[in-house]
Amino acid sequence: MTSPGPMRVMLVDDHALVRSAVRQAISAPDIEVVGEAGTAEEALLLAPELRPELILLDINLPGTDGLRVLRELGPRLPETRIVMLTVSGGRRDLLEAVRNGAAGYLTKDLSPEALQRAVRGIRAGDLPMSRAMAADVIQQLSGPGGRRNRAETTDDTLAGLSAREAEVLRHLADGLTDKEIAERLSISPRTVETHVGSVLRKLGVKNRAQAARRYLESTEPEPGA
């Protein structure tokens, strides 16, 4: 069986010194840094070209923040794992990152050895996140506020949608345009179009009106409820 080769990693951080330190920390025969970006705009252009196996992404970027980069790149690079690497250990940032598809959440106070272990462990299926953070995420997302909404549970087909696709469908049923949905979710209209196309395919419907009708039917109160 042939080796998969070194893990191809891209770094996204607005501080060149931080990128240099991270590159030095994770460099190993089985890990290769194939690209770097200092802004969200650079990341959105470069990542689809490089298609790295892993992106280490800072939340705090100038202009567009890292969470928007996460929302934009996730649907475009389904085979790429995006892990946040940030100074922020705040619960809000952690939960928003996980809800938007982050494959892990690491803080910059990690030792170089721990960071390299975390990166290497991704291929083995390890969760790149501290135990305390993982426990916090599970507690928050399993509570009443984190449970899937009715649109995801009342219909077997709708249950197959991702959380983001369900959000797009809900706004679509409310009559919003792609541009309005994009503004509401802080993503690009092109990404909205991608989600809509995926929703139509998963629901097996021909157009947006049929998708909206399916959503509304699935969220109607049951008789006697």
56 plus 128 within the same structural domain: yes
Q: Does 199 fall in a domain?
A: yes
3-class secondary structure per residue, the chain:
CCCCCCEEEEEECCCHHHHHHHHHHHCECCEEEEEEECCHHHHHHHHHHHCCCEEEECCCCCCCCHHHHHHHHHHHCCCCEEEEEECCCCHHHHHHHHHCCCCEEEECCCCHHHHHHHHHHHHCCCCCECHHHHHHHHHHHCCHHHCCCHHHHCCCCHHHCCHHHHHHHHHHHCCCCHHHHHHHHCCCHHHHHHHHHHHHHHHCCCCHHHHHHHHHHHCCCCCCC
Kindly state whether residue 22 falls inside one of the protein's structural domains.
yes
Q: How far apart are CA 114 and CA 98, in angstroms?
A: 21
pLDDT of residue 116: 94
From 114, 141, 168, the end of a domain falls on 141
Q: Report the CATH number at residue 187.
A: 1.10.10.10
Instruction: Report pTM.
Output: 0.64
Which pLDDT score, from 0 to 100, does residue 149 have?
A: 43
Q: Would 2 be classed as within a structural domain?
A: no
Shared domain for 88 and 14, answered yes or no, is yes
Residues 134 and 177 occupy one common structural domain: no
Q: What is the pLDDT along the chain (225 residues), one digit of tens a residue?
A: 456 789 999 999 999 999 999 999 999 999 999 999 999 999 999 999 999 999 999 998 888 789 889 989 988 898 999 999 998 777 788 888 888 888 899 999 889 999 999 999 888 788 888 878 887 777 776 555 444 443 333 455 677 788 788 888 888 887 788 888 888 888 888 888 898 888 888 888 888 877 887 887 776 554 554
Residue 224 lies in a domain: no
Q: Is the Cα torsion angle 186, 189, 191, 194 positive or negative in sign? A: positive
Q: What is the extent of the structural domain holding 32? A: 7-141
Helix axes 40-50, 66-76, angle to 10 degrees: 20
Domain termination site, one of 87, 114, 141: 141
Q: Evaluate whether residue 26 is within a structural domain.
A: yes
Is 117 found in the same domain as 199? no
Give pLDDT, residue 9.
97
How distant is the alpha carbon of residue 3 from its chain centre?
Answer: 28
Backbone φ, ψ for residue 76 (5° rounding): -85, -25
